[in-house]
């Protein structure tokens, strides 16, 4: 008897990640210069680690916390949301999640029914697209305006709204483009959402990493959006806490019990040891955030300078935030970004991420990460200069 494949349509529909494919190829080689990392390379600051160790020693972390998280942590988050995001939050409107990712998954599950549509400005973080598919909803990809630095195309978003549209989901500062959506654009997006009764689910993972005159704005701070916004945040990037798996979301008090049902089914609660670490992160000195930001800014400037030498190969917009950028590949071979990245890796040992991994409008682009040491950026570009004759 032959057995049938047991996988659902929902997961089989999801294509294999081009990011993971490139990671696998790179790991088979030696001396690779990585411009494909998208996680902080710094370690978590010592004072955060010390607080976690103390919590373990004090026997505080062996059980679950309340599902929405430790009250002390939620109180600290309320202060942060009021101070840095201008979101007038209450502790009862905050849920501590397993990174931003689980918060987003819980938010999506709480908002959409099978067959509903979710508008995503693209190119965008591919995990968001997958999360919508996993909820049996339909991702509606609306291209951003690349010529103007990947800004929101608000008329196109308005045109994309149908009777089935339930939500708009975006990340700003953006992975992969580094664009920081401007306050006036987000206010117009809020108007569209309010007009059509849509949820706006945000991923604000890179909120502290903005440069020049770009400012992060939280759509959840608009008082009229109180019932429509679900804002997701994380400690991952801000405090270099990728592996601790801790984030949080803010939503209207009416939505919290609904989101919590999904959150419990997905995780019960966020890791308690990480919750103690997060309290320390918020109460402690915040110098690490400025240090990380300064490093990303100087790495961004270096990467842009080096790209200027390869003008015939790449055309780019200077990213206003995050630690990622998304140059267009001008040469013929760049039409297929996966093939381009593979060839680049084989010929130059430079690892990059194919743009198509971020939706079809990402094709003919590369995602480059500047959260790497500057000597890694120089090494990668020395090799590309030699290869392309820059």
Ligand X SMILES: Cc1ncc(COP(=O)(O)O)c(C=O)c1O
Question: Given the complex with ligand X, which of 232 and 280 has the nearer CB atom?
Answer: 232
- The closest residue (CB) to ligand X is 99
Residue in 22, 96, 101, 199 binding ligand X, rule: CB under 6 A: 101
125 binds ligand X (CB under 6 A): yes
CA distances from 387 to 25, 179, 341, 348 (A): 20, 29, 13, 7
Interface with ligand X in residues 202-231 (CB under 6 A): 203, 205
Question: Given the complex with ligand X, which of 19 and 198 has the nearer CB atom?
Answer: 19
44 binds ligand X (CB under 6 A): no
Judged by CB under 6 A, how many residues of this single chain contact ligand X?
Answer: 13
Interface with ligand X in residues 226-285 (CB under 6 A): 234, 236, 242, 247
171 binds ligand X (CB under 6 A): yes
175 binds ligand X (CB under 6 A): yes
**Which window, 22-30, 61-69, 98-106, 213-221, contacts ligand X (CB under 6 A)?**
98-106
Q: How far is the CB of 127 from ligand X (least distance, A)?
A: 7
Question: Given the complex with ligand X, which of 171 and 198 has the nearer CB atom?
Answer: 171
38 binds ligand X (CB under 6 A): yes
Q: How far is the CB of 100 from ligand X (least distance, A)?
A: 4
Instruction: Name residues whose C-beta falls within 8 Å of residue 117's C-beta, 6 or more positions apart in sequence.
Output: 137, 138, 139, 140, 162, 164, 165, 166
Q: Tell me which residues touch ligand X (CB under 6 A).
A: 38, 99-101, 125, 171, 175, 203, 205, 234, 236, 242, 247
């Amino acid at each position: 008897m032959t057995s049938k494949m047991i996988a659902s349509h929902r997961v089989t529909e999801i294509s294999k990640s081009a990011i993971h494919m490139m990671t696998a190829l790179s790991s088979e080689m030696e001396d690779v210069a990585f411009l494909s990392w998208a996680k902080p390379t710094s370690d978590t600051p010592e004072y955060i680690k010390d607080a976690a160790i103390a919590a373990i020693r004090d026997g505080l972390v062996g059980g679950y916390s309340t599902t929405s998280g430790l009250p002390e942590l939620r109180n600290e988050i309320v202060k942060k949301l009021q101070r840095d995001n201008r979101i007038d939050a209450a502790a009862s409107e905050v849920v501590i999640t397993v990174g931003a990712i689980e918060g987003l998954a819980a938010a999506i599950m709480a908002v959409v029914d099978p067959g509903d549509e979710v508008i995503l400005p693209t190119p965008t973080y591919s995990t968001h697209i997958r999360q919508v598919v996993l909820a049996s909803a339909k991702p509606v990809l609306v291209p951003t305006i690349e010529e103007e630095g990947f800004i929101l195309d608000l008329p196109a978003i308005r045109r994309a709204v149908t009777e089935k549209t339930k939500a708009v989901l975006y990340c700003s500062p953006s992975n992969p483009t580094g664009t920081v959506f401007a306050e006036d654009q987000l206010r117009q997006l809020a108007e569209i959402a309010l007009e059509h009764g849509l949820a706006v689910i945000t991923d604000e993972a890179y909120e502290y990493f903005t440069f020049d005159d770009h400012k992060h704005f939280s759509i959840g701070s608009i008082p009229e959006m109180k019932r429509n916004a679900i804002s997701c945040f994380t400690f991952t990037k801000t405090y270099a806490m990728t592996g601790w798996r801790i984030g949080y979301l803010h939503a209207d008090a009416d939505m919290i019990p609904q989101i919590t049902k999904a959150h419990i089914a997905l995780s019960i609660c966020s890791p308690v040891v990480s919750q103690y670490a997060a309290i320390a992160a918020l109460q402690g000195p915040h110098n690490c955030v400025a240090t990380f930001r300064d490093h990303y800014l100087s790495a961004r400037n270096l990467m842009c300078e080096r790209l200027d030498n390869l003008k015939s190969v790449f055309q780019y917009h200077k990213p206003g935030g995050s630690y990622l950028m998304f140059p267009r590949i001008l040469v013929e071979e760049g039409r297929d970004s996966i093939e381009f990245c593979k060839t680049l890796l084989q010929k130059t040992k430079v690892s990059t991420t194919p743009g198509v991994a971020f939706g079809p409008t990402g094709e003919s682009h590369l995602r480059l990460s500047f959260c790497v040491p500057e000597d890694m950026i120089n090494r990668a570009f020395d090799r590309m200069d030699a290869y392309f004759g820059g």
